[in-house]
Amino acid sequence: MIPGRLIFVYGTLKRGCRNHHFLAGQKFVGEARTAPGFRLYDLGGHPGMVAQSDDTEGVTGEIWEVDASALGRLDALEGLAEGMYRR
């Protein structure tokens, strides 16, 4: 079996949140926090994580191991092709 890709989720994809079903069948690795220098902003329907040089806490989230199929679904959800986010 080829190992999956590790991703960090910090918003609606986290356990208990409205888009978590996109991670169905994937492996939860654990809770995590970014290095300081990032902050979440409410962008209406979803949060946006941006670099913020004065941040001292970072952003909390979760690490998931996902397969290629799940990664494709996440790319579509997040609007990768439209430039809405970067991996």
Q: Given pLDDT bands bounded at 50, 70 and 90, which one contains residue 84?
A: low
Percentage of residues of the chain with pLDDT beyond 90: 62
Structural domain count, the chain: 1
Tell me phi and psi for residue 57, to 5 degrees.
Answer: -110, -30
Answer yes or no: is 43 within a domain: yes
Does residue 83 form part of some domain?
Answer: no
CATH number, residue 23 = 3.10.490.10
The pLDDT of residue 53: 92
Contacts of 75 (CB under 8 A, 6+ apart): 81, 87
Q: Establish if 19 belongs to a structural domain.
A: yes
Average pLDDT over residues 60-84: 87
By residue range, what is the domain housing residue 38?
5-78
| Residue 6 identity (one-letter amino acid) | L
The residues annotated with a catalytic role in the active site are 78
